[in-house]
Structure 1
Amino acid sequence: MEENMVRGTVAEGFESVREEFAAVAAGEGGDHAAQLVAYRHGERVVDLWTGPETTADSLFGAYSASKGATHLVVASLVQEGVLDLEQKVGHYWPQFALEGKGDVTLRELLAHRAGLVGADTGFTIEELADDRIVAERLGAQRPYWRPGTAFGYHALVMGALSGEVVRRATGRSVQELFAERVRDAYGVDFHLGLPQEHEPRFLSARPMVVTPERLAALTASASAPNSLSGIAFNRHHPQNPEVWELPNFPAVRTLGTASFGGTASARGLARMYAVAIGSVDGTAPLLKPETLALAGQIQSIGHDVVLGEQKAFTIGFHATSEYYPQLGQGSFGHSGAGGQQAFADPRNGIAYGYTRRRTPFPAAAGPENDRLIRTLYQAAATR
């Protein structure tokens, strides 16, 4: 079908990636819209897209891949000595040191160990879209576990917490610093705060296809709204939208909510990580080797008390090599609930970005990433 036609280019030796991407598109059905881009040692070796309305420059909601952009800024500030991972968060943000949080270090906060996964009363979407409001509420919130004793994914609020530390330390928002240090400096098509002139490029998110079998599975696995998971995903608030809807709210896109409000193309996702780890188009890398080692060093691994699954986190990033065995040790990045995946693999010199328009089942990094990443690494190994 025309809708499944794959467009774009691959470098010599990466033809198998195009074939696998085409197979994914065919298997997903005629409305599958997606982009796939990869760099190797600073060279863009894969640049593909498919689906109705989709172009190479289409922008998709990044969901939690936005946390990767946020924490590249944090890593750059740690590199410069502006932020100290061993310093208490309250040193930068005095109001944070309430309700038993006075000893929480920045390292613990970034590793999802602070217990601040949400607020007792929850948030409206307007509140959740505004990082300053979220930070103010969570600064006064009692943690849901004793900080440092466990970890759990701070899904909807992590970027607001990190961003408030950045704002207190620098006087500027993480969105401003990302635009200056990454987006504009390196020509990265990733926006934490979408300028109005780019709105026509945005393709609204679409929900997963829910069959009766999938509905039964969702119902069986759903946690109670007032459970730890329910609070973390704001399900205890009566006006909470579905996760897949988040990028479709103009306030989320305009404010560039640091946890989930970014918009990006796969070119932007991949280039963001490519420039972080190496030279692209003659530019100096964003991060130095010692900072890359820190970004990829596991800080929390094991049972995630929010998700109820085995997870691994570094300083604000996923420890991506724990999820894809092909990757080198020290790989880092962040996926998104809409199916997005993006990461840097410094040991192999690979940066990867994948976007899709329709939320997969279940909402998480699209399962096709397993196939695409495996094929990409096989191609890279023989080139």
Structure 2
Amino acid sequence: MNVNGTVAEGFEPVRAAFVRNFETLGERGAAVTVYRHGRKVVDLWGGTRDVDGSEPWQRETAHVVHSATKGVAAAVLLLLHQRGQLDLDAPVGAYWPEFKARGRETALVRHVLSHRAGVPVVDRPLTPEEAADPDRTAEAVAGQAPAWAPGADHGYHAHTYGWLVGELVRRVTGRGVGGWIADEITGPLGADLWVGLPEAETGRVGRSGRVTSPETAGSVRMRPKRSVADAYADPSSLTSRAFAAITPPPDDNDPAYRAAALPASNGIATAEGLARFYAALIGAVDGREPLFAPPTVEAARAEESAGPDRVLVVNTRFGLGYMLHGTASPLLGPGSFGHPGRGGPLGFADPDSGIAFGYVTNGFRKTVTADPRAQALVRGVRAAIAG
């Protein structure tokens, strides 16, 4: 396996972990980038551009990052709050009056970000075409009866999170969330990360697909508790219904899906773009001021939800829009905040160490949070900064 790119002195454990992912965990094509204090210290890529092809992965290759998109979408609401345009403690209905129906008058903006809004499902799943229409998605969640009283509990809003965030952005700014991200965050930052892929960038995106864990001595097998497996198998459970809010499941390789702006699930990025985004949240990058002021960083990583997740079943921890370090999604340390993507991708920042991390793969596994390949790379980073 030819691994391309560089690591700074001391970060060799990350390269070793990246190589082992190909040798023992069945990686097909992937990239990982790490920044520390705004300086790139790891930039690696290897394998094939397409999960089922032979063309080499290039430095500029990008892929769908699934729910790692949620961390990018969260930054929009937090930045609007930082700029005084959005109150996190205001009712959602103050910006979106139609959302006040069906007992949701008490739902706050912070409940949306912390998966406490109570609408993780829709009674009638949307088609991929409907899910790409912001008017249709806003209507669907505004008309949905809550599964619990807003703020009273938490459960992962797998798809509806993006529809809630997207409509709040439209109501506050008059702009679509994908365009806002491009104009206000990723464009000025020079980060190769899109929510709604521009046609000019389509040639950079590799073909992704499902892969299985190899039956080798070095492989790591995910063995969910029986109750978790039961929840996914039961079509009436909140778990199944939350992930089936778009039915049939979108095809990651469909150009129409990639061009849509689904801020919960279809961001497309390079590992460098994802890591650069997180580096810019917590510190200066190339002389630019950090995107988040210190109070916003603390808001992102302050615990808002913790304990049994009504959708994921396992214990989860959320700040405002970000997963926090815990058993469901181990990050670098207690102060880390970020978001995994279903099947493998991961992006996060750790303000305490100055680390920002991005991992992108084309081979998706049956994992929602703690993918073994991403975790191996995180352990490599931990070993590197421990010296």
Deviation of 1:251 after TM superposition, in Å, equals 2.5
> Taking every aligned residue pair, what percent have the same amino acid on both sides?
39
State how far apart, in whole Å, the 2-side matches of 1:351 and 1:321 are. Answer: 18
Deviation, structure 1 residue 322 = 6.0
Please give the alpha-carbon distance, in whole angstroms, between the structure 1 residues aligned to 2:315 and 2:222.
23
Residue 222 of structure 1 is matched in structure 2 by: 232
Distance in 1 between residues matched to 2:137 and 2:113, nearest whole Å = 16
Counterpart residue number, 1:377: 382
Residue 83 of structure 2 corresponds to which residue in structure 1? 80
Give the one of 120, 128, 131 matched to 1:128.
131
Q: Which residue of 2 aligns with 1:43?
A: 39
Say whether residues 1:231 and 2:257 are aligned partners.
Answer: no
Q: What's 1:25 paired with?
A: 22
Question: Does residue 113 of structure 1 match 2:116?
Answer: yes
Paired letter, 1:143:
P
The corresponding residue for 1:16 is 13
Pairwise CA RMSD of aligned residues?
Answer: 2.4
Give, in whole Å, the separation in 1 of the partners of 2:232 and 2:197. Answer: 33
1:295 to 294, 300, 309: 300
CA deviation after TM superposition for structure 1 residue 175, in Å: 1.2
- Deviation of 1:8 after TM superposition, in Å, equals 0.6
* Conservation of the 8 A alpha-carbon contact between 1:333 and 1:343: yes
Counterpart residue type for residue 305 of structure 1: R
1:327 maps to which of 323, 332, 347: 332
Matched residue type, 1:265 = T
Which one of the candidate residues 269, 273, 281 is aligned to 1:268? 273
Alignment partner, residue 58 of structure 2? 55
Secondary structure at the residue paired with 2:34? strand
TM-superposed deviation, 1:246 = 4.0
Pairing 1:160-179 to 2, within 5 Å after superposition: 160-179=163-182
1:325 Cα shift?
6.1
Q: 1:71 to 1:364 in 2, by over 3 A?
A: same
TM-score (norm 2): 0.90
CA distance in structure 2 between the partners assigned to 1:324 and 1:208 by the alignment: 21
Q: How far did 1:68 drift? A: 0.9
SS in 2 for 1:334: strand
**TM-score, scaled relative to structure 1:** 0.91
- Which whole-Å CA distance do the structure 1 matches of 2:130 and 2:302 have between them? 33
Structure 2 counterpart of 1:39, which letter?
A: Y
SS where residue 136 of structure 1 aligns?
A: helix
CA deviations 1:323-365 (Å, max 9, x no partner) are 5667343321111013001001111100000011111233544
Deviations for 1:148-185, whole angstroms, at most 9, x for unmatched residues? 22110000120110111111011112212111111111
User: Relative to 1, partners in 2 of residues 1:95 and 1:268: Cα closer, same or farther, differing over 3 Å?
Assistant: same
Residues 46-101 of structure 1: CA deviation (Å, up to 9, x unaligned):
00011023111111101001111111111111111111111000000000000000
Change (3 A) 1:131 1:366: farther
- The alpha-carbon distance between structure 1 residues 310 and 52, as it changes in their structure 2 partners (threshold 3 A), is same
Closer, same or farther: CA 118–251 of 1 in aligned 2, 3 Å: farther
CA contact (8 A) 2:111 2:151 kept: yes
Query: How far apart, in 2, do the equivalents of 1:19 and 1:10 lie?
Result: 11
Conservation of the 8 A alpha-carbon contact between 2:231 and 2:237: no
Q: Residues 337 and 349 of structure 2 are in contact (CA less than 8 Å); yes or no, is this contact kept in structure 1?
A: yes
Does structure 1 residue 201 correspond to structure 2 residue 210? no
Identify the range of structure 1 (348-357 vs 364-373) with the bigger mean alpha-carbon deviation: 364-373
Distance 1:132 1:347, change over 3 A: farther
CA change 1:246–1:298 in 2 (3 A) is farther
Number of equivalences: 373
2:52 corresponds to: none
1:278 aligns with 2:275: no
Aligned residue identity for 2:270: S
Stretches of structure 2 that go unaligned for 5 or more consecutive residues are: 50-56, 216-220
Q: What SS does the corresponding residue of 2:252 show, helix, strand or coil?
A: helix
Q: Does residue 240 in structure 1 map to residue 255 in structure 2?
A: no
2: CA distance, partners of 1:131 / 1:310: 31
Q: Partners in 1 of 2:367 and 2:340 — Cα distance?
A: 13
Q: CA deviation at 1:205?
A: 1.5
C-alpha distance in 2 between matches for 1:166 and 1:147: 20
